[in-house]
Structure 1
Amino acid sequence: MPTNSQSRDVFYVSDGTAITCETLGHVVLGQFQFDVNEKTFPFVESEDKLSDLLKEISNSYKNKGNKPLVFFSIVIPELKKKLLDAPAHCYDVLEDIVKKVKNDIQIEPKPKLQRSRSVSKDSKSYFDRINAIEYTLAHDDGIKLTNLNDADIILLGVSRSGKTPTSLYMAMQFGLRVVNYPYIQEDMSSLKLLKEFEVHRHKLFGLTILPERLTEIRENRLAGSKYADIEQCISEIEKVEALFRREAIPYINTSSLSVEEISARILERSGLRRRLL
């Protein structure tokens, strides 16, 4: 059967959120040079949901002519066995490390569904995470600039520089309360720091991006618009970066970084501690 080593379907599968599978999968696949078509299947904890996944895997194999890659964490034995029988290369992201910990500490593991583990272990941590997500959603894209005392960090940047996905990732993964604010075309004639941010300077962090990448992203949203024009993108980026330098706001370029890498670099540069929930 013909294969195409330059393109692979990849599935991230879990009986929980699948964030761990995605994170590990991105790190591993970053070592290889081929195109990736990704799909995520969270909360696969029933025969029906597994059946939908198996159909996707089967169709991928038939259509592409090569086995898809599946990074998974499923603890229900019956579901795990059926997944391993599928026409795919399957990688259990937990199995090897769980076995090693078991051998090192001589304690038998008792697998639990990932979704319920956080709640049963520490319900306060679970609800702290929910509160962080709700706060971040309420302060997305400059919707609201109140209660900034509760923010852990405030992200600034031009529209489509990666603020929203980064904010949500940091809220969901680390329980951080994130505000993000976009500088838009109308701001460019007299770009300055908002008075609401003055007292919170220590929380400010900037995101920037290459003009070519910004144009590509904006074209996908509003093709042929002034919003996506390369000259417009260059002008906005230059003015916002000048603001960051003038106000001594730390910033990073997001052009070639995943949301995981962006978040990690922000945490490192800002000195924020990860709240592992």
Structure 2
Amino acid sequence: MKRTIFFLADHTGITVEAMGRSLLSQFDGFTYETVHWPFIDSLDKARRVAERINQTTIESEQKPIVFTTLVDPQIRDYFKQLDVPVMDFFETFTARLEEELQLPSSHALGRFHTTDNNRAYDQRIHAVNFALNNDDGAVTRNYTTADLILIGVSRVGKTPTCLFLGLQHSVLAANYPLTEDDLENDLLPNVLNSYRDKLYGLTIDPHQLQRIRQERRPDRRYSSLEQCKMEIKLAEDLYKHYTIPYLDTTSMSIEEISARLLQHINRAAKVTNE
């Protein structure tokens, strides 16, 4: 049975969904269904949501997982009393920032969305939705409007990078997985041929890739070092054959990866405009 995931927010819920889905995408084979509950700005609303969470636990006979960006301390504490795992993005980072900045948080609702540039905010929302809807090669018809199409083998970091680029920089980033069949044929998948100028490859040290895969699917051919070495070599050979720029992400944070990709996008845009 699929696990139920609750996304709770005191505003639109776009942020908590993007961050939650990004984390969940790291767990191959994990299937889930989602419940979105935005605009939880009172204890009365929180109680109604809690009833739904408890009912889900009873009906499914397993605890749902709750992701939240709730700001109000009372409402956050209310959900922490439930007998379910709660992933609190707000609390995770705010206390550390208060300590570092020597400033108290305002705990004001919707500050992330308070902006004089509504158009820029709408672009971020659109970019995050674009990343979610064009993840893992599931949909390719939107590639004509993509700013960037990341390609690479499984577990190399394509999905979280696309989401980060969308959420932080409004980049329309899609991603396409290079499967073993693609790599053994030594040919770029047909669906990508028309978008060669938008492609960017990701690679990683095979030993690190094995560690990542072992955490998800241990003791399988998919996560063997031999398989990881083979896939990485063939992927890099493909990049070189088609002159596709690529980046080794082994020792890079998602912020560093995104910064390099932004430089590439800006250079490409400059060449196009000249």
Q: Which bin holds the TM-score, normalised by the shorter protein?
A: 0.5 to 0.7
Gaps of 5+ in 1: 1-14, 19-39, 54-68, 73-82, 97-110
Cα distance 1:89–1:132, how it changes in 2: closer, same or farther (>3 A)?
Answer: closer
2:69 corresponding residue in structure 1 = 42
* Partner SS state of residue 91, structure 1: helix
Give the distance between the partners of 2:245 and 2:110, measured in 1 at CA. Answer: 36
Cα distance 1:118–1:44, how it changes in 2: closer, same or farther (>3 A)?
Answer: closer
Give the distance between the partners of 2:164 and 2:191, measured in 1 at CA. Answer: 24
Find the structure with the greater CA-based Rg.
Answer: 1
Residue 117 of structure 2 aligns with an amino acid whose one-letter code is D
* Partner SS state of residue 110, structure 2: helix
Cα distance 1:70–1:148, how it changes in 2: closer, same or farther (>3 A)?
Answer: closer
2:34 corresponding residue in structure 1 = none
Give the distance between the partners of 1:70 and 1:227, measured in 2 at CA. Answer: 33
Cα distance 1:192–1:168, how it changes in 2: closer, same or farther (>3 A)?
Answer: same
2:234 corresponding residue in structure 1 = 239
* Partner SS state of residue 136, structure 2: helix
Which whole-Å deviations, capped at 9, do the CAs of 1:135-161 have from their partners, x for residues lacking one?
111110110111211101000101000
Give the distance between the partners of 1:94 and 1:220, measured in 2 at CA. Answer: 38
Cα distance 1:129–1:232, how it changes in 2: closer, same or farther (>3 A)?
Answer: same
TM-score, with structure 1 as normaliser = 0.62
In the TM superposition, what are the counterparts of 1:232-271 in structure 2 within 5 Å? 232-271=227-266
Cα distance 1:185–1:89, how it changes in 2: closer, same or farther (>3 A)?
Answer: closer
1:91 aligns with 2:99: yes
Which whole-Å deviations, capped at 9, do the CAs of 1:84-142 have from their partners, x for residues lacking one?
xxxx894254959xxxxxxxxxxxxxx79373453452332222222111111111011
Which whole-Å deviations, capped at 9, do the CAs of 1:171-211 have from their partners, x for residues lacking one?
11111111101112232220322233223222111100000
* Partner SS state of residue 205, structure 1: strand
Cα distance 1:224–1:93, how it changes in 2: closer, same or farther (>3 A)?
Answer: same
Give the distance between the partners of 1:201 and 1:223, measured in 2 at CA. Answer: 35
1:174 aligns with 2:174: no
How many pairs were matched up?
A: 199
Give 1:214's match in structure 2, choosing from 194, 209, 215: 209
Residue 75 of structure 2 aligns with an amino acid whose one-letter code is D
1:129 corresponding residue in structure 2 = 124
- Given that 1:161 and 1:207 are in contact with CA atoms closer than 8 Å, whether structure 2 keeps it comes out as yes
Give 1:118's match in structure 2, choosing from 97, 102, 113: 113
Gaps of 5+ in 2: 1-9, 17-66, 81-90, 269-274
- Given that 2:199 and 2:244 are in contact with CA atoms closer than 8 Å, whether structure 1 keeps it comes out as yes
- Given that 1:70 and 1:91 are in contact with CA atoms closer than 8 Å, whether structure 2 keeps it comes out as no
Cα distance 1:70–1:228, how it changes in 2: closer, same or farther (>3 A)?
Answer: closer
- Given that 1:136 and 1:178 are in contact with CA atoms closer than 8 Å, whether structure 2 keeps it comes out as yes
1:138 aligns with 2:138: no
TM-score, with structure 2 as normaliser = 0.62
Q: % of aligned pairs identical?
A: 34
Cα distance 1:237–1:124, how it changes in 2: closer, same or farther (>3 A)?
Answer: same
Give the distance between the partners of 1:191 and 1:42, measured in 2 at CA. Answer: 44
Give the distance between the partners of 2:116 and 2:102, measured in 1 at CA. Answer: 19
Which whole-Å deviations, capped at 9, do the CAs of 1:56-93 have from their partners, x for residues lacking one?
xxxxxxxxxxxxx9752xxxxxxxxxx7xxxx894254
Give 1:204's match in structure 2, choosing from 199, 209, 222: 199
Residue 71 of structure 2 aligns with an amino acid whose one-letter code is V
- Given that 1:71 and 1:92 are in contact with CA atoms closer than 8 Å, whether structure 2 keeps it comes out as no
Cα distance 1:51–1:139, how it changes in 2: closer, same or farther (>3 A)?
Answer: same
Cα distance 1:119–1:191, how it changes in 2: closer, same or farther (>3 A)?
Answer: farther
2:83 corresponding residue in structure 1 = none
Give the distance between the partners of 2:100 and 2:113, measured in 1 at CA. Answer: 20
2:47 corresponding residue in structure 1 = none
Which whole-Å deviations, capped at 9, do the CAs of 1:202-255 have from their partners, x for residues lacking one?
211110000000000111111000000101110110010011111111111111
Give the distance between the partners of 2:125 and 2:161, measured in 1 at CA. Answer: 16
- Given that 2:183 and 2:238 are in contact with CA atoms closer than 8 Å, whether structure 1 keeps it comes out as no
- Given that 2:72 and 2:107 are in contact with CA atoms closer than 8 Å, whether structure 1 keeps it comes out as no
